[in-house]
């Protein structure tokens, strides 16, 4: 028998949904597991960038710290082995393969984020340290594929011999100084051996808005859940982001997302990291984290492709192989 729908009930329902949208309320149907006001399944991200962060069953947080723009600084080199290590990387591929998969995964993540937040302006800078011409060509092809504008800077390391005690950090120094000429709200420094999940950029942006709003101050985010964090028996705080939990940390490597305002506030620390040899190398950054809130995701949003036995590498409880294969160039 054909089911007869009540047209009057459906009409009233549509009016109620429309009225709820006008008032800024969101409706949740726990029978169909959908939100009729958002036109989304409840398993999807329900947050609206720049407006509200929604998490079940905690409800919504009105966003007061809206992200205005993002500039990415991608440091690339197709020839470098593991810095300061005599080990092979996981998957045992040429360095160029990590570079290209890392870039491909980030561009794919940007593409995903643009679909979710079309109003957000994302700029991209590549600081390249003498990569092969064949690799440079593939880099350019990737940007064309994703229709992402970018600026490519060819690094001349010899120019930095008197500036950086370790010329391996010349690209870091260059990217840090380039920040001074950008008016971007957020800055993302990323190395060429971090392979990202597709949701990474979107998750970091929405989690930055949510956590910064909650704490009433800008925070620093890292894409990787580093294994060394589990080798310490230290107390921490766990906050809820968009689709990840975020753990407060006091150590990191050089890949990080933060506001330009916060970066300039601690310019001396970042400049020291890029120019002076320390032990550990990131010691100047760690002093920043004594004063500012820094967080890393659980589970990880990106895998750091170092040696599999390194405590600064592969994140726990993550399907490394699947992430690696999804980043393969087609």
Q: For the chain, which residues make up each domain, given as ranges?
A: 1-44, 69-326
pTM score:
0.88
- The mean pLDDT value for 114-130 works out to 95
**DSSP label at residue 42:** T
Task: Report the C-alpha gap between 164 and 293 in whole angstroms.
Answer: 28
Lowest mean pLDDT among 22-36, 65-79, 86-100, 233-247: 22-36
pLDDT number for residue 2: 47
Query: Mean pLDDT in the chain?
Result: 87
pLDDT number for residue 232: 80
pLDDT number for residue 85: 53
**Residue 39: which residues within 8 A CB-CB, separation 6 or more?**
none
Contact 41, 57 (CB under 8 A): no
Q: Which residue has the higher pLDDT, 313 or 265?
A: 265
CATH of 69-326, one of 3.30.1490.190, 3.40.190.10, 3.40.50.11140, 3.90.550.10: 3.90.550.10
317 pLDDT more than 60: yes
- The mean pLDDT value for 170-180 works out to 95
pLDDT number for residue 46: 63
Q: Which residue has the tokens 């995903």?
A: 112
pLDDT number for residue 61: 85
Q: Which residue has the higher pLDDT, 81 or 324?
A: 324
Confidence tier at 4 by pLDDT (50, 70, 90):
very low
- The burial of 124, by beta-carbon neighbours within 10 Å (0-12 exposed, 13-18 middle, 19 or more buried), is given as buried
Contact 37, 26 (CB under 8 A): yes
Task: Report the C-alpha gap between 303 and 195 in whole angstroms.
Answer: 5
**Portion of the chain with pLDDT greater than 90, in percent:** 66
pLDDT digit string, tens, across residues 218-257: 999 999 998 888 888 888 999 999 989 999 999 999 999 9
Question: How many other CB atoms sit within 10 Å of the CB of residue 45?
Answer: 18
pLDDT digit string, tens, across residues 23-58: 555 655 556 656 565 566 655 566 677 777 777 676
pLDDT digit string, tens, across residues 5-25: 555 557 655 665 565 556 555
Widest CA span of the chain, in angstroms?
A: 85
Q: Which residue has the higher pLDDT, 303 or 12?
A: 303
């Amino acid at each position: 028998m054909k089911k007869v729908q009540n047209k009057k009930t459906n009409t009233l329902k549509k009016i109620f949904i429309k009225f709820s949208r006008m008032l800024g309320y969101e409706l949740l149907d726990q029978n169909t597991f959908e939100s009729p006001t958002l036109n989304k399944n409840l398993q999807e991200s329900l947050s609206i960038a720049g407006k509200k962060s929604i998490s079940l069953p905690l409800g919504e947080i009105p966003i007061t710290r809206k992200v205005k723009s993002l500039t990415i600084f991608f440091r690339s080199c197709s020839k470098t082995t593991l810095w300061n290590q005599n080990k092979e990387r996981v998957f045992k591929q040429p360095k160029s393969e990590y570079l290209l998969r890392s870039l491909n995964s980030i561009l794919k993540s940007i593409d995903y984020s643009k679909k979710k937040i079309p109003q957000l302006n994302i700029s991209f800078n590549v600081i390249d340290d003498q990569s092969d011409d064949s690799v440079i060509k593939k880099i350019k092809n990737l940007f064309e594929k994703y229709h992402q504008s970018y600026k490519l800077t060819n690094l001349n390391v010899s120019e930095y011999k008197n500036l950086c005690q370790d010329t391996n950090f010349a690209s870091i120094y260059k990217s840090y100084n380039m920040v001074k000429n950008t008016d971007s709200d957020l800055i993302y420094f990323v190395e060429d051996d971090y392979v990202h999940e597709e949701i990474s950029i979107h998750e970091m942006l929405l989690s930055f808005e949510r956590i910064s709003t909650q704490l009433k101050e800008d925070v620093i985010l890292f894409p990787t859940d580093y294994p060394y964090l589990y080798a310490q028996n230290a107390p921490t705080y766990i906050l809820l982001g968009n689709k990840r939990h975020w753990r407060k940390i006091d150590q990191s490597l050089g890949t990080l997302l933060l506001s330009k305002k916060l970066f300039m506030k601690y310019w001396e620390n970042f400049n020291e990291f890029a120019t002076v040899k320390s032990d550990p190398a990131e010691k100047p950054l760690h002093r920043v984290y004594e004063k500012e809130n820094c967080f890393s995701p659980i589970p990880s949003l990106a895998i750091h492709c170092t040696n599999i036995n390194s405590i600064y590498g592969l994140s726990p409880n993550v399907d490394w192989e699947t992430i690696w294969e999804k980043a393969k160039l087609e």
